Amino acid sequence: MKFIDKLLRASRKNNSLVCVGLDPDPRLLPENTSVFEFNKAIIDATADLVCAYKLNFAFYEALGIECFDTLKYSLNRIPEDIAVIGDAKRGDIGNTARTYAEAIFDQLGFDAATVNPYLGYDSAEPFLEYEDKGVFILCRTSNPGSADFQSLRLRDSGSPLFELVAHKAGEWNKYGNIGLVVGATYPEELKLIRQQHPDMPLLIPGIGAQGGDLEKAVRYGTDADGKKAIINSSRQIIYASRGINFAPAARQATAELRDRINRFRSKQG
C-alpha cells in the first residue's frame, strides 16, 4: 500500500490529523521505565486517536547499542494500519543515501522518512525510488534558526530559498510520494506552500512546546478537503504527565488535540 493511502485511511478511520512524536528522553521517563515500555504504553493509549506516529532517530541513537532494537520493537507495537514516519533527516551523496534508504525502509520498515535536500536531487533520489514510501523534504522547518538559510532571497527571482525547495520537490515528485515539512511556527509560509502545492501532504511540527498556532496550522496546512496535513505533537503529549499515569495523560492530551483540530476543520467546511 502506498504511504499516502495508508495515511488517509488511518486519518479517516480515527477522524484525526494528529501525529504523535515518539521522542523519549530516558531522563524524563518515570522511574524504572524503559524506553520501549514507555513507547508501548503511549502507543497502546493513543493508537485509535492518531493518523501517524513519528520517531525521531536522535532519541534512539543516543541510547547506544540498544538503539535499533528499541526502534524495531516500537515499530512492531504500532498497529499495521497506522502510518509511521522515520524522522531521520538524512541527506548525503548518492551511494550513502541509498544505504540510508535501505536501513529506514527495508531493514526497519518505516512507511516514510524525512530527508534533507541540501545536497540536491541525487541525495534524495534513492528514497524517492521507493514508490510506496513517503519522503518528506525539509522545506520550512519549525526552529528559530531555520531563517538563517531558508529565508534567504534568491538573486534571480527574489523568492526565499524554502520556496525553491518546495518547487524542486514538486519537480521530483514523479511517483507522487513526496511531502514537505513546514513548521506551524511560520503560518504565512505554511499558507504560501499549501497554495503552491495543493495536493502534497504536509508534515507540520511546531505545535505545543514550540508555540505554533494550531488554528492557523489547520486552516493553512490542510488541503481543499481538510486532509493531507499531519500535525505533529511530541512533548505536549508524551510528557503530559511525568508520573505513573503518563499513558492515560497522553491519551487525554491526544484526544484533546484531535478534537481541537477537528473543530477548526469543521469551520472550514
User: For the chain, which residues make up each domain, given as ranges?
Assistant: 3-136+211-268
Q: What is the pLDDT of residues 118-154, one digit of tens each?
A: 999 999 999 999 999 999 999 999 888 888 888 888 8
pLDDT of 34 over the 70 cut: yes
Predicted confidence band of residue 269 (pLDDT cuts 50, 70, 90)? low
pLDDT at 9: 98
Is the confidence at residue 88, as pLDDT, over 60? yes
C-alpha span between 100 and 185 (Å, rounded): 29
Q: Which residues carry out catalysis? A: 89
Cβ–Cβ < 8 Å for 35, 68: no
CATH superfamily placement of domain 3-136+211-268: Aldolase class I (3.20.20.70)
pLDDT digits 0-9 by tens, 210-253? 777 999 999 999 999 999 999 999 999 999 999 999 999 999 99
C-alpha cell at 226: 481538510
* The pLDDT of residue 149: 85
Helix (H, G, I), strand (E, B) or coil at 189: helix
The total of other beta-carbon atoms located within 10 Å of residue 158's CB is 8
User: Do 223 and 235 contact (CB within 8 A), yes or no?
Assistant: no
